[in-house]
Amino acid sequence: MLKVDIVGEKDNVVGCEEKDIAHQRGLWHRMSGIYLTNSEGKLLLQKRSATKDVFPNLWTQSVGGHVDAGESYETAALRELKEELGILNLELRQLHKYNLEEVYEGQKLRHVNVIYSAPYNGETITPDLGEIDKVEWFSQGQIDAMLKSQPQDFCPGFKEEYEIYKKLK
């Protein structure tokens, strides 16, 4: 079972717990995510698999996941990049660190998030079909239109994070 560091709202480690228990108890823990952009200025989004335990079948950032206990945000982001998309060795640029609270089926999810950006123009993307239904490149205009017309198709936290991304990219 995946263990995560339990942190205070200012990201100081106060303990360690299984991820599922952290979710059930509403404990603050760490996540990292990556926004991949190509030379056309498009952003890669992933649609989460139907089998995901939280927010299945919804669109979100290119890569995202929990930071394992004792792991750094950047190490977790690079690990998730390899696991979820099969991409190795990108240079990440940290954009922002912020706290996010979401509710999913009665569970209060509390995450300290660090988001990164990275350019990617490679041809090979190999989504882990256990985690991701599909990936697709979108222009900012397309994403903005989708968020306006179909907000229910996106993870709730993505909407806030995407606004941060747009300001800092």
pLDDT tens for each residue of 59-87 = 999 999 999 999 999 999 999 999 999 99
pLDDT at position 120 is 97
Q: What is the pLDDT of residue 23?
A: 92
The structure's pTM equals 0.94
Amino acid at 164: I
7-42 residue pLDDT tens: 998 899 999 999 999 999 999 999 999 999 999 999
Q: Give whole-number Cα distances, 19 to 22, 57, 65, 137, 166, in Å.
A: 5, 21, 11, 30, 29
User: What's the rounded Cα separation, in Å, for the pair 93 and 35?
Assistant: 10
Range of the domain at 35: 3-168
- Helix then strand then coil, % of the chain, to nearest 5: 25, 40, 35
Domain count, the chain: 1
Sequence-distant (≥ 6) Cβ neighbours of residue 6 within 8 angstroms = 13, 14, 15, 16, 17, 22, 27, 28, 29
Length of the chain: 169
Q: What is the CATH number of the domain that holds 80?
A: 3.90.79.10
